[in-house]
Structure formats: C-alpha cells, structure tokens
Amino acid sequence: MYEGVVQDLIDELGRLPGVGPKSAQRIAFHLLQADPVDVRRLSDVLVEVKAKVRFCATCFNVSESEHCRICTDPRRDPTVLCVVEEYKDVVAIERTREFRGRYHVLGGAISPIDGVGPDQLRIRELMTRLADGELTEIILATDPNLEGEATATYLTRLLRPLGLRVTRLASGLPVGGDLEYADEVTLGRAFVGRQAAP
C-alpha cells in the first residue's frame, strides 16, 4: 500500500503488543517527520536493550550482569523469598520499600487456556534454590486474579510440606478507594482478613 520501507515500518510496529494497524500507521507517519536523531536514538536503544539486558541466573529478574543487583546485595535478607510472576512485579514491590528479602520471577502464571502449565514456569529453579536450607519464608506475590491464585495454590501445595512458612499478600480494600465501589469479592476478602484496630 505504502512506499516499500514505510510499509515495512508499519508492519514491524504493528507486531508490538497493543499497537493496532491504525496506531502503527500513526506512529510510522510521526517517525517519517520526526528528527532523524530521535529516531536513531530509539533504534539504538532497541539494539542496546537486547545486547545488555539478560535475566539473573538466580532469580530471573532483569539484569545487566549474570546476577542481578538484588541477588548480589549483601544487605538483602537471604531468609525471605518473594515469588512474583514478572519483572514488573519486582519493580512494583521495590517501589514500596517494604520488602528487604530476595525475589524469584516465575515468568508468568499457570493458565491452561494459554497453554501455560507449571513446567513452563521457573518452578524447578525455585525448588533448587530451596536446597541450601537458608530460606524460612516464601511470600507468594502472584497477581490477585484467576491465574495468579491458581499458581499460588499450586506452589502452596508444593512448598508447605517442606516445613517453610508460606504466605500470600493480603487481599482487601485498596487504600484511597471508596468502600461503596469495591467489588463483592474484594469486600468479602476485606472482611475475612479483618485485623484488630490499632
């Protein structure tokens, strides 16, 4: 439809998640008119990110060296491990500054519909990490949705017999929200998980 290389660009952009044909076209036209220096910078960072970024050999967090900053930080508590689905969950938890232990990134959640079973996640690697006996608690911080809950249930069954303390993040009302607008499941969980008033 378009001049050869413009169509190539639209095709490549259209392969990105959440970028439909119309957005791809819009981005391509923007780039056609953009400063070549800006386009070059985007092009370079794409190459750089694939060259530099790898996954931590221990926890599978994103890392620029063999082991990530968190795994190599001696100030992090080696007895508590937080299991998350994705790298972005690590970033979200780090942002809270509430957790000083280490992580394990599963690489997703169990989802039969998407053909993801326990074997597709880094559960075998998680079990290997438990071998040294240093860990005392595992916090399952998978997403509070169907797949995340299924994954947490699966891991609980696997880990509890090992005599570890296995915990889940609290479910309840989001801070700053309106009770009135909470969905029933969340409100129900907030009741079940109620705590003594401070």
Q: Which residues bind a second copy (CB under 8 A)?
A: 1-6, 8-9, 12-13, 15-19, 23, 25-32, 36, 38-50, 52-53, 62-64, 69, 86-88, 91, 95
Q: C-beta of 30: minimal distance to a second copy in Å? A: 5
CA distance 94 to 88: 10
Residue 140: CB atoms within 10 A of its CB come to: 22
Q: C-beta of 130: minimal distance to a second copy in Å? A: 26
**Residue 95 buriedness (CB in 10 A; 0-12 / 13-18 / 19+):** exposed
Q: C-beta of 58: minimal distance to a second copy in Å? A: 15
Taking the least distance from each CB to a second copy, the nearer of 108 and 172 is 108
Q: C-beta of 34: minimal distance to a second copy in Å? A: 8
CA distance 1 to 62: 39
Taking the least distance from each CB to a second copy, the nearer of 50 and 124 is 50
φ and ψ at residue 36, rounded to 5 degrees: -55, -30
User: Are the CB atoms for 109 and 151 separated by under 8 Å?
Assistant: yes
Inter-CA distances, 129 with 4, 57, 123, 144, 190, Å: 51, 11, 10, 25, 33
List, in sequence order, every residue forming a beta bridge with 167; answer none if it has no partner: 139
Taking the least distance from each CB to a second copy, the nearer of 96 and 195 is 96
3-state secondary structure of 99: coil
Taking the least distance from each CB to a second copy, the nearer of 2 and 144 is 2
Q: C-beta of 139: minimal distance to a second copy in Å? A: 21
Q: C-beta of 57: minimal distance to a second copy in Å? A: 15
- Contacts of residue 170, defined as CB under 8 A and 6 or more positions apart, other chains included, come to 193
